[in-house]
Amino acid sequence: MSDAVAAEGQDAVSRSFEPVRLSDYRPPDHLIDTIDLVFHLEPTATRVMARMAVRRNPAGTAPADAPLVLDGDADSLTLTSIRLDGEPLDENRYVTDDSSLTVQDVPETFVLDIETRIDPQANTELSGLYRSGGIYCTQCEAQGFRRITYYPDRPDVLAVFTVTLMGDRSSCPLLLSNGNPVDRGDAGPDRHWATWHDPHPKPAYLFALVAGDLATLTDTYTTRSGRAVTLNIHVLPRDADKSAFALEALKKSMKWDEDRFGLEYDLDVYSIVAVPDFNMGAMENKGLNVFNTKYVLARPDTATDSDYHGVESVIAHEYFHNWTGNRVTLRDWFQLSLKEGLTVWRDQEFSSDTGSRAVERIKAVRRLRSVQFPEDAGPTAHPIRPDSYIEINNFYTPTVYEKGAEVVRMLHTLIGDDAFTRGLKLYLERHDNGAATVEDWLAAMQEVSGADLSHFKLWYEQAGTPRIGVEESHDAANRQLTLTITQETAPTPGQPDKRPLHIPFSIGLLDPSGRPLPVTIDGDAANAERETAVVSLTRARQTVVLNDVPENAAVSLLRGFSAPVNLAPRGRERLLFLMAHDPDTFSRWDAGQDLMSGILIDHAATIRDGGTADLDDRVIEAVERIVSDETLDPALVAEMLVLPSETDLAQHIRPIPVEAIHAARTGARSRIAARLRDRLVSRYQALGGPSADANLDAAQMARRALKNTILALLNADTTDATGRDLAAAQAENATTMTDSIAALIALNETDGPQRDRHQAEFLDRWRDEALVVDKWFSLQAMRLSPATVEAVSALRGHDLYARTNPNRVRSLIGVFAAANPVAFHRQDGAGHRLLAEEIKAINRANPQLAAALTKPLTRWQHHDATRAESMKSALRDISAIPDLSRNVFELVKRGLDDADANGDARPPA
C-alpha cells in the first residue's frame, strides 16, 4: 500500500475517488507503435524492461507541447531507469505520482526505455503479473498492465508487442507470451529465454505472459483456408488427466466460428493456460488465454455435466473474442458490452447450434431473471453502456454481459439473420485492428439492413427492466383480437424519467384445442400467417390487432423471450393451457414458471400472515403430466420441474418475507413429492436409478439431469425415507461427479446420519482436488437453515479454507450470500455481519473479489426495516475501515446513497 492511500485514513464517505465519465472521452495524445518487453522473472523482484516507439497522435486534441502521460500504479511499480532516445532522462524532466508518470518536453516521435521492478509473489490482487500454483501469469484486463510497467493503459492505444522472457530453466521450462514464437536460447547455466512476437496490434489489456512448469496437451487445427494452428492446453502437472475435453471444445469452437460467421483464427499458435487463482472465469489475451481451472479441467469423476457445459461455453467465449474484442477492440471501457454482450450472444448461439436450443434459452433466461433483473432493480442498476464509473472492474456485470447479449439478440431478431451476419462482417472489416464504439456497431447494422436503429439505441443508454402489460379484447363479428400493450420502466439511480424502448415482441396463437393457429397482424404484410409474429413496440401504449382469430383462441406472448422484459402475470387458466399445449417449448416452460411463481407468491403472503397454503389438484396434475411425458427431451422436463428460486420469488413481494418464501417453496416441493411419489420414483428408476454410467453424450446428460432433479424433489418430503434411501444408494454407487454431487445435494436438506456420513466420505476422497473441495464448501453454504451462519463462520477456520483463492471464497462466502436467503438474511443480522467481516478481510488483498462479495449487501431497499437496517449497518461498518479500496468504496457508496436521488456515484460535495 502506498503512503498516500494509508494517510487518507479518514472516513470513507468523505474520501474522494473521482468518477470517470464517458462524456469526458478524449483521444490519446500519444500513440505507441511498437513495444518491446523483456522480463527477467524472479519471484519477488522481476525486472521489466520496456522499449516503446512513441508518436504524437495526429488525431489528438492536445497542444503540440503536451507532455507524455503514462499510467502506472505506484503501489506495484518501482521505477529503476528511464531513457529517451537512449539518453537517461534528467530528474526534472519527469515526475511520478500514485497513478502516473509524466514526461515533459517530448519530441514528435521518440523511443522511450523504461525499467521497472515488480514483486509477483506479493501480488494478491491477481491483477498484473502474479503467481498461482507456482506459475507466473498475468491478468491485464481491465487495467492490470499499469501494474507491470508505465504505459498508456487504455484500449484505444494499439501497439505491436514483442516479448522476451528470461527465467529458470528448472522452475520455468515453459516461457509463453502472445503471438508466434520467434526464438529461444540459453542465458547462463540455469536460465533460458524465449521471444514471442504478436503481429496484430493490440491494447495492453490483451497482453499476457505465462512461465512455469506445466503439462501440455497439444493438437493441430487446420483452418478452412489452410492455416495449420498448433493448439496447446497447459495445466499444472497434477491436472494433466483433465485437459482433453477443453481441447475438443476449442476445436469445436474454431470450426463453428468458421461455419457460422466465416471467421478464422489468425496466428500459428493458440494456447490456453489454466491457473487455480483467478478473479473471473477466463481471459481472452491474444493467442494466450489464461483460464480459471474451473473452466478447463474436466474428468467425469471430478466434473459435473454442468461443469462440462461451463468449460465448453467459456472456451468458446474466449475463442470468439479473438474477433469480437481482439481484432476489433474497444475505444474505451464504457463500450465494454460491445465485446462482452456480443461475445456472450455468440457463445450462446454456439451452445444452441451444437446442443438443445430450447434448453439453452431456458438456462439463459433463468440466469437473466435471477441475476440481472435484481441488479436492474437495485442501487447498482446501470445501462449496458454505463456513463460513469469509479472502478471499471465493478462493471463486469450481468447487465453488461447477459443483458448486453439480450440486446444483441433483439437486434438479430429485428433485422434478421442474414442482415445481422452481413452487419457483423462489415463491422469487423471496417474496424479491423482498431477500436470501436457502440455507434460504430449500430452504424454497420443500420447500413446493411436499412433499418432505423436510432430508437433501438436507447437500450444501450437506459437502465431498468421494462414491465409489459397486455389487455386482450376479442371482436367475434370481425374475428379480430386486439391487444393493448403497455410498457413502463421504473426509475433507476440517476435516471428518474424513462422513455419507452423499441421492443421486439413475439406473439403466437393457439386454438382452444391447443393447435397452433397462424398469426396475421392487421396492416403488417411482413407478419401475415406466421407461426410466431414479431411486432415492434415503440410507445408507452399501443394496440396490435390480430386478424382471423376464432373465439377462445389463446395468445402466447414473448415467445423465446424476445426481449429482456417483465411480462405482467397472466391468468392461471391461460398459463395451465399454454404449459400443456404451446408448440414453443420455451413458452411452455415459461408458462409453468409464471404459473408457479404466482402461486408461490400467494402462498408466501398467506404464510406471512399466519395462514397455511396448499397446492390445488390441477397444479399437481399438471406437474404429473410433465413428469410422465416421455415425448419431451428429459433435459426440458428437468427444467420444467424446477420451481422459481427463492431469489426469483423475492422480486415480486415487498417487503420480502424471507422465511415465508422459503416455507412456501419448500412446502410446495414437499407436497409435490408426497403426492407424486410413486410416479417420481418410477421415472427415477426408469432413467437409471442410483447406479449409472459415465457416458457424456447429450442424451445421457439429459437423462441424468432429469433423474437428479427428481431425486432432489423426492427429498423435499422429509417425512418419508424413500428419497433419502435412494440418494444414499446413489451416493454410494455414483460413477460420475454429476450423480455423486446430486446425491449429496438431495441429502443436504435432510437430517440423519446419511447426510453427514456421505459428505465426510466425499471430502475425504477428494481433499486433493481443489475444484471438488469447492463443491463440498458450497454444499455447506447452501444448507437452507438459519444455523448455516454459524456453520459457514466456523468453516472459515477449516484447514482447506483459503482466503487467497477466489474460487474457495466464492464457494463458501459467495454461495452463502447469493443462494441462501434464510441464513444470509437471518433476522438478527448475523449473516450480514459475517459477510462484512469477510469483505473487510479481503478488501486490501483482493479488491476485485471483495467488491464482488459486497453486492448482496447493497440490496436492502426491498427488505423489512430490521433487515434493511442491519444491511446498511454492515455497509457503514465496511465504509469505516481506513484503507478501503476504490472497488469496495464504489459499491458501499452506491449501497448507502439514497437510491433515487444520487445514483450516479458522484462523490459527495
* Partner from ligand TRP, Zn ion, none contacting 283, C-beta within 5 to 8 A by type: ligand TRP
What are φ and ψ of residue 195, in 5° steps?
-115, 135
CB of 255 to ligand TRP, least distance (A): 20
CB of 142 to ligand TRP, least distance (A): 6
* Partner from ligand TRP, Zn ion, none contacting 651, C-beta within 5 to 8 A by type: none
Please select the residue that binds ligand TRP; options are 36, 113, 119, 141, rule is CB under 6 A. Answer: 141
Please select the residue that binds ligand TRP; options are 158, 166, 249, 282, rule is CB under 6 A. Answer: 282
Enumerate residues 6+ apart whose C-beta is below 8 A from 899: 378, 379, 493, 861
* Partner from ligand TRP, Zn ion, none contacting 141, C-beta within 5 to 8 A by type: ligand TRP
CB of 802 to ligand TRP, least distance (A): 18
Beta carbon nearer to ligand TRP, 143 or 489: 143
Beta carbon nearer to ligand TRP, 145 or 860: 145
- DSSP code for 393: G
**Is residue 461 among the annotated active site residues?**
no
Beta carbon nearer to ligand TRP, 279 or 335: 279
Beta carbon nearer to ligand TRP, 280 or 643: 280
User: Interacting stretch for ligand TRP, rule CB under 6 A, among 136-144, 263-271, 431-439, 893-901?
Assistant: 136-144
CA distance 318 to 249: 11
Beta carbon nearer to ligand TRP, 317 or 385: 317
Q: How many C-beta atoms lie closer than 10 Å to residue 160's C-beta?
A: 17
The count of chain residues that interact with ligand TRP, using the rule CB under 6 A, is: 13
CA atoms within 13 A on the CB side of 688: 24
| DSSP letter string, 196-240 | EEEEEEE-GGG--EEEE--EEEEEEEE-TT--EEEEEEEE-GGGG
User: Interacting stretch for ligand TRP, rule CB under 6 A, among 261-269, 281-289, 380-388, 694-702?
Assistant: 281-289
CA distance 758 to 852: 32
For 739-866, strand residue ranges (E) read none
CA distance 279 to 295: 12
Do residues 710 and 680 touch, judged by C-beta distance below 8 A? yes
Beta carbon nearer to Zn ion, 340 or 349: 340
Is 283 a residue that touches ligand TRP (CB under 6 A)? yes
* Partner from ligand TRP, Zn ion, none contacting 509, C-beta within 5 to 8 A by type: none
User: Interacting stretch for ligand TRP, rule CB under 6 A, among 169-177, 252-260, 266-274, 282-290?
Assistant: 282-290
Crossing angle for the helix pair 417-430 and 438-449, to the nearest 10 degrees: 130
Beta carbon nearer to ligand TRP, 278 or 459: 278
CB of 660 to ligand TRP, least distance (A): 38
Please select the residue that binds ligand TRP; options are 71, 153, 277, 318, rule is CB under 6 A. Answer: 318
CA atoms within 13 A on the CB side of 346: 31
User: Interacting stretch for ligand TRP, rule CB under 6 A, among 273-281, 353-361, 404-412, 646-654?
Assistant: 273-281
| DSSP letter string, 95-138 | EE-SSEEEE-S--SEEEEEEEEEE-GGG--S-SEEEEETTEEEE
Position 538: which residue type? T
* Partner from Zn ion, ligand TRP, none contacting 139, C-beta within 5 to 8 A by type: ligand TRP
Is 420 a residue that touches ligand TRP (CB under 6 A)? no
Please select the residue that binds ligand TRP; options are 119, 125, 198, 284, rule is CB under 6 A. Answer: 284
Please select the residue that binds ligand TRP; options are 279, 329, 394, 587, rule is CB under 6 A. Answer: 279
CA distance 791 to 599: 32
Site string for Zn ion, 680-719 (x = CB under 5 A): ----------------------------------------
CB of 283 to Zn ion, least distance (A): 8
Beta carbon nearer to ligand TRP, 175 or 849: 849
* Partner from Zn ion, ligand TRP, none contacting 824, C-beta within 5 to 8 A by type: none
125, 141, 284, 318: the active-site residue: 318
CB of 314 to ligand TRP, least distance (A): 7
CB of 340 to Zn ion, least distance (A): 5
CA distance 153 to 332: 11
CA distance 507 to 530: 9
Q: Which residue is nearest to ligand TRP (CB)?
A: 280
CA distance 651 to 582: 26
Do residues 138 and 278 touch, judged by C-beta distance below 8 A? no
Angle formed at CA 94 by CA 88 and CA 96, multiple of 5 degrees? 120
Do residues 233 and 246 touch, judged by C-beta distance below 8 A? yes
CB of 53 to Zn ion, least distance (A): 30
* Partner from Zn ion, ligand TRP, none contacting 279, C-beta within 5 to 8 A by type: ligand TRP
CB of 322 to Zn ion, least distance (A): 11
CB of 331 to ligand TRP, least distance (A): 16
What are φ and ψ of residue 784, in 5° steps?
-80, 80
Question: Between residue 305 and residue 344, which ones bind Zn ion under the rule CB under 5 A?
Answer: 340, 343
Please select the residue that binds ligand TRP; options are 256, 396, 460, 589, rule is CB under 6 A. Answer: 396
CA distance 701 to 517: 34
Beta carbon nearer to Zn ion, 343 or 846: 343
Q: Which three cell numbers stand for residue 446?
A: 443500420
CB of 661 to ligand TRP, least distance (A): 33
Q: Is the peptide bond before 142 cis (omega within 30 degrees of 0)?
A: yes
| DSSP letter string, 718-763 | TT-SHHHHHHHHHHHH--SHHHHHHHHHHHHT--SHHHHHHHHHHH
Question: Between residue 371 and residue 390, which ones bind Zn ion under the rule CB under 5 A?
Answer: none
Residue appearing with cell numbers 475425504 = 764
CB of 76 to ligand TRP, least distance (A): 16
The count of chain residues that interact with Zn ion, using the rule CB under 5 A, is: 2
Question: Between residue 331 and residue 370, which ones bind ligand TRP under the rule CB under 6 A?
Answer: 340
CA distance 481 to 545: 6
Quick one: residue 339, left, alpha or beta (phi over 0 = left, psi -120 to 50 = alpha)? alpha
* Partner from Zn ion, ligand TRP, none contacting 396, C-beta within 5 to 8 A by type: ligand TRP
CA atoms within 13 A on the CB side of 906: 9
Please select the residue that binds ligand TRP; options are 76, 132, 139, 437, rule is CB under 6 A. Answer: 139
Beta bridge partners of 508: 532, 556
CA distance 597 to 906: 38
Beta carbon nearer to Zn ion, 404 or 723: 404
CA distance 723 to 721: 6
CB of 339 to ligand TRP, least distance (A): 7
Between β-strands 159-168 and 30-40, what pairing exists: parallel, antiparallel or unpaired?
parallel
Q: Which three cell numbers stand for residue 384?
A: 449496458
CA distance 163 to 179: 9
CA distance 760 to 763: 5
Beta carbon nearer to Zn ion, 340 or 402: 340
Beta carbon nearer to Zn ion, 173 or 281: 281
Beta carbon nearer to ligand TRP, 664 or 770: 770
First to last CA, the chain: 26
- DSSP code for 529: S
Question: Between residue 157 and residue 216, which ones bind Zn ion under the rule CB under 5 A?
Answer: none
Q: Which residues are known to be catalytic?
A: 318
Instruction: Tell me which residues touch ligand TRP (CB under 6 A).
Output: 139, 141-142, 278-280, 282-284, 317-318, 340, 396
Instruction: Tell me which residues touch Zn ion (CB under 5 A).
Output: 340, 343
